[in-house]
Structure 1
Amino acid sequence: MPVSMTGFGRAETTEDNWSHVWEIRSVNSRFLDLKWRLPNSLRGYESRWEKIVRKYGSRGRVDLSLNLEVFSTELLGISLNQLQAKAMVDQLKDMAAADGVEFTPDYNRLFNISGLWRDASSEPDPDMAKSISAGLEKALANWKESRKDEGEDLQRDLEERFTLLKEYTEQVKVKVPEILETKREALIERVKGNMETLGAEYIEDRMVQEVSILTDKLDVSEEITRLDAHLERIFEVLRGNKDAGKRLDFLLQETFREINTCGNKCQDSEVSRVVVEFKAELEKCREQVQNIE
Structure 2
Amino acid sequence: MIKSMTGYGKGEYENELYRFKIEIKSVNHRYNDISIRMPRHILYLEETIKKAIKEYILRGKVDVFINLEYVNNTAVDIDVDINLARAYKIALEDLKKELGLEDNIRLNNILGVPEIIKMEKKDIDEELILDSLNKSLHIALEEINHMKVSEGKVLKKDILTKLDTIEENLNIIENRAPKIVLEYKSRLSQRIKELLDNNTLLDEDRLNNEVAFFADKSSIDEEIVRIKSHIIQFRSILDEENTVGRKLDFLIQELNREINTIGSKANDETITKQVIELKAELEKIREQIQNIE
Instruction: Report the TM-score range of the alignment, normalised by the length of the smaller protein.
Output: 0.7 to 0.9
Corresponding residue of 2:286: 286
Consecutive unaligned residues of structure 1, counting only runs of 5 or more, are 90-105
Letter aligned with residue 29 of structure 1: H
Listed one character per residue, the Cα deviations across residues 26-76 of structure 1 (whole Å, up to 9, x for unaligned) are 111111111112111121111111111111011001111112210254524
| Pairs aligned (count) | 269
Structure 2 Cα separation of the partners of residues 217 and 234 of structure 1? 29
Listed one character per residue, the Cα deviations across residues 181-233 of structure 1 (whole Å, up to 9, x for unaligned) are 21233334445666x48x99864334422331222111111111111111111
Q: Taking structure 1 as reference, are residues 7 and 109 closer, same or farther at Cα in structure 2, changes over 3 Å only? A: closer
Structure 1 Cα separation of the partners of residues 13 and 248 of structure 2? 39
Letter aligned with residue 37 of structure 1: R
Corresponding residue of 1:127: 128
1:176 and 2:158 equivalent?
no
Corresponding residue of 2:75: 75
The structural deviation recorded for 1:23 is 1.1
Kindly indicate whether the alpha-carbon contact (under 8 Å) linking 2:181 and 2:214 is maintained by their aligned counterparts in 1. Answer: no
Corresponding residue of 2:2: 2
Tell me the secondary structure at the aligned position of residue 152 of structure 1. helix
The structural deviation recorded for 1:22 is 1.1
Corresponding residue of 2:266: 266
Kindly indicate whether the alpha-carbon contact (under 8 Å) linking 1:184 and 1:212 is maintained by their aligned counterparts in 2. Answer: no
Corresponding residue of 2:99: none
Kindly indicate whether the alpha-carbon contact (under 8 Å) linking 1:75 and 1:124 is maintained by their aligned counterparts in 2. Answer: no
Counting aligned pairs with the same residue, the percent is: 31
* 1:52-131 matched pairs, under 5 angstroms: 52-73=52-73, 75-76=75-76, 111-112=114-115, 125-131=126-132
Structure 2 Cα separation of the partners of residues 219 and 112 of structure 1? 90
The structural deviation recorded for 1:18 is 2.5
Structure 2 Cα separation of the partners of residues 62 and 112 of structure 1? 42
Corresponding residue of 2:167: 166
Q: Given the two structures, how large is their TM-score scaled by the length of structure 2?
A: 0.81
Structure 2 Cα separation of the partners of residues 75 and 247 of structure 1? 50
Structure 1 Cα separation of the partners of residues 234 and 179 of structure 2? 29
When the two chains are superposed, the root-mean-square deviation of aligned CA atoms in Å is 2.9
Kindly indicate whether the alpha-carbon contact (under 8 Å) linking 1:19 and 1:69 is maintained by their aligned counterparts in 2. Answer: yes
Q: Taking structure 1 as reference, are residues 172 and 205 closer, same or farther at Cα in structure 2, changes over 3 Å only? A: same
Corresponding residue of 1:143: 144
* 1:142-221 matched pairs, under 5 angstroms: 142-190=143-191, 196=196, 203-221=203-221
Structure 2 Cα separation of the partners of residues 112 and 191 of structure 1? 108
The structural deviation recorded for 1:260 is 1.3
Letter aligned with residue 183 of structure 1: Y
Structure 2 Cα separation of the partners of residues 216 and 225 of structure 1? 16
Kindly indicate whether the alpha-carbon contact (under 8 Å) linking 1:75 and 1:125 is maintained by their aligned counterparts in 2. Answer: no
Q: Given the two structures, how large is their TM-score scaled by the length of structure 1?
A: 0.81
Structure 2 Cα separation of the partners of residues 206 and 288 of structure 1? 51
Structure 1 Cα separation of the partners of residues 252 and 115 of structure 2? 65
Corresponding residue of 1:35: 35
Q: Taking structure 1 as reference, are residues 80 and 270 closer, same or farther at Cα in structure 2, changes over 3 Å only? A: same
Kindly indicate whether the alpha-carbon contact (under 8 Å) linking 2:17 and 2:74 is maintained by their aligned counterparts in 1. Answer: no
Consecutive unaligned residues of structure 2, counting only runs of 5 or more, are 85-108
Kindly indicate whether the alpha-carbon contact (under 8 Å) linking 1:42 and 1:124 is maintained by their aligned counterparts in 2. Answer: no
Tell me the secondary structure at the aligned position of residue 218 of structure 2. coil
